[in-house]
Copies of this chain bind each other. A is one copy, B any other.
Amino acid sequence: MTREQHHDVAVVGGGVIGLSCAWRLAAAGARVCLVDPEPASGASRMAGGMLAPVAEAWPGEEALLELGSASLRRWPGFAAELSATAGEPSGLHEHGTLVVGVDSADREQLGALAEHLASLGRTVTRRTSRELRRVEPALGPAVHGGLEVPGDLSTDNRTTLRALLRACTATGVEFRAVEARRVRPGEVEAGQDTVRCGTVVIAAGTHSPGLHPGLDGLIRPVKGEILRLRARSTALPPPRRTVRGPVHGRQVYLVPRPDGVVVGATQYESGVDTTVTVGGVRDLITDAERVMPALGEYELGETGAGLRPATPDNLPLIGRLEPGVLVATGHHRNGFLQAPITAEAVEALLSDRRPPAETVPADPTRWKGR
């Protein structure tokens, strides 16, 4: 059976990127169809929701820092418009980030991060243990100094996803709950149907490479396990800021939620596997309790794992694969952070305007001919 309904755009994938693109395109007047068997699930549902380009900066990844920073600047406006359209909170949480360290190697790593950021003309504030504890009293005695990054924020990912679903509905996005199998210019094979449209936007995360030959070898799944902890009345309340650290060299983050914290995230390159392992949970709990011992009294509300879509250079893939096919995926650990600028770039490309300059290095054909 072939349905001949006409859409301007078919977005394949209903994670934070696909939903953001669909909403922004529909808000700009396009007739949009979103193809996903279960929107707002997968890696976006599992995510911690950090909006933290600075705390994650790394020498050699300056284009990623620029992209993330440019998207973060768009977040307050994006969130306000999302909330207004959806009639629900956006999830944005504007209380900043602390990066803390435990042992001397951790502190060296924080020092290197501070120097690197200074060399880029960005300043972060070094804080002593005492200063850190003054703003976040729940930090444990193992925490020895850190950095304050007030501009790095977070969002409650599930609240954001709920708002995006509402905003899509409110702007007339049509949801097609089928699994896409193949994308060609202007059409998506999905289930028994073919969805026809002007342009397809592939935003299917780790599923993307199977949809189009132009994505072969460009996306690999990076498994992340994550915990959702709920504060109990007998325990200290969650921190106000995101608290993250290298803890004995391992990355851990605590992202506040209204009812507790999200603790993430392990990183394994082990293919398509979302099993929650004993070892992963053990590492997350151990590291999180080093940072905030009161978490031992919290309820272990949920354990889960998602697959981040990673690219060879950690920049996403945003741009045109061929006429009639755009891609917006490969956001790895930064889907929520980079959603506003990605949606803006996709909207620009579809109306033949120039996308934001910071997205140009994310062109999906950047390896062509090398």
Contact = CB atoms under 8 A, between A and B. Distances in A.
Interface of A: 227, 229, 232, 275-282, 285-286, 288-289, 295-300, 303
- What 8 pairs across the A-B complex have the smallest Cβ distances? A279-B296, A282-B285, A275-B299, A278-B298, A276-B300, A278-B300, A278-B296, A281-B300
A300 B279 CA distance: 9
A210 to B, nearest CB: 24
Question: Chain A contact residues: over half helix, strand or loop, or mixed?
Answer: helix
Contacts of A275: 232, 299
A108 to B, nearest CB: 28
A279 B299 contact: no
12 contacts: A229-B278, A276-B300, A277-B297, A277-B300, A278-B289, A278-B295, A278-B297, A278-B300, A279-B296, A282-B296, A285-B285, A300-B303
A286 B296 CA distance: 13
A218 B158 CA distance: 46
A296 B297 CA distance: 23
A297 B285 CA distance: 16
Contacts of A227: 278
A289 B299 contact: no
A189 to B, nearest CB: 33
Nearest to A301: B276
A285 B300 CA distance: 13
